């Protein structure tokens, strides 16, 4: 069994990392501004599921490949960045439709919002690097079954993200409601959310390891 002190230390580190606005927070805010609270919250759930798949991959060795191979890391990074840009462009194209709706949230299938969040979480290179670097340091090899320890520790990350990202989603959706009182405001906020996602995708593509 892992010492509780190590579990608490990892929990604190996770809380700090999730609390600092990063890709998942910016993506959630962008979704809340463009499609509304319900879809943003579903995106948060999907994102957390995608991130936990990374934990499973790291626990069973895939993370080591990403750590050692610049090519694999680059493929994951560019795929995630490209998907974010695609979602941002789609939001920009539909901003006038948002304006015409006068604040009514466009109908989006729940599965689509979950899928979008899942893909972004799964292809987030920053979180997988964090898991590769941090998870092994907080395990106790003498306790045995290290992969299981990683799975249990890694579960803290999506759980914390669910709570904190949901707060961001509610806050952004509340601001969106104010913008919705004016067609022009709503069109602007739809464009801002789209540009935010495009900028996030572009910055993700240009940062990271260069070996």
Angle at alpha carbon of residue 9, lines to 8 and 10, rounded to 5°: 90
Angle at alpha carbon of residue 147, lines to 141 and 148, rounded to 5°: 95
Per 3-state DSSP, the chain is made up of helix, strand and coil in percentages (nearest 5) of: 85, 0, 15
190-209 tens-digit pLDDT: 566 667 667 767 776 775 54
CA gap 162, 150 in Å, rounded: 19
The residue to which tokens 């593509």 are assigned: 205
pLDDT of residue 10 exceeding 70: yes
Q: Is 136 left (phi over 0), alpha (psi -120 to 50) or beta?
A: alpha
pTM of the predicted protein model: 0.68
CA gap 114, 171 in Å, rounded: 20
Residue 71: exposed, middle, or buried by beta-carbon count in 10 A (0-12, 13-18, 19+)? exposed
CA gap 128, 120 in Å, rounded: 12
Contact between 153 and 4 under an 8 Å Cβ cutoff? The reply is no
Average pLDDT over residues 26-42: 82
148-178 tens-digit pLDDT: 888 999 999 999 999 999 998 888 888 776 6
Residue of 163, 196, 85 whose CA lies nearest to 188:
196
């Amino acid at each position: 069994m892992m010492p509780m002190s190590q579990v608490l230390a990892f929990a604190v580190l996770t809380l700090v990392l999730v609390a600092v606005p990063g890709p998942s927070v910016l993506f959630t805010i962008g979704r809340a501004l463009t499609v509304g609270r319900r879809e943003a919250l579903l995106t948060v759930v999907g994102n957390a599921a995608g991130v936990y798949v990374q934990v499973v991959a790291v626990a069973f060795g895939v993370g080591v490949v990403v750590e050692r191979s610049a090519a694999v890391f680059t493929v994951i990074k560019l795929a995630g960045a490209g998907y974010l840009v695609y979602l941002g462009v789609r939001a920009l194209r539909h901003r006038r439709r948002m304006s015409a709706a006068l604040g009514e949230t466009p109908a989006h299938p729940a599965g689509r919002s979950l899928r979008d969040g899942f893909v972004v979480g799964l292809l987030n290179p920053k979180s997988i690097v964090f898991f590769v670097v941090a998870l092994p340091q907080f395990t106790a090899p003498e306790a045995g079954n290290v992969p299981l320890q990683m799975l249990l520790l890694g579960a803290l990350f999506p759980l914390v993200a669910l709570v904190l990202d949901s707060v961001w989603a509610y806050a952004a959706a509340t601001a969106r409601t104010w913008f919705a009182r004016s067609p022009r405001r709503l069109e602007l906020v739809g464009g801002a959310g789209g540009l935010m996602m495009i900028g996030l995708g572009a910055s993700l593509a240009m940062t990271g390891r260069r070996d």
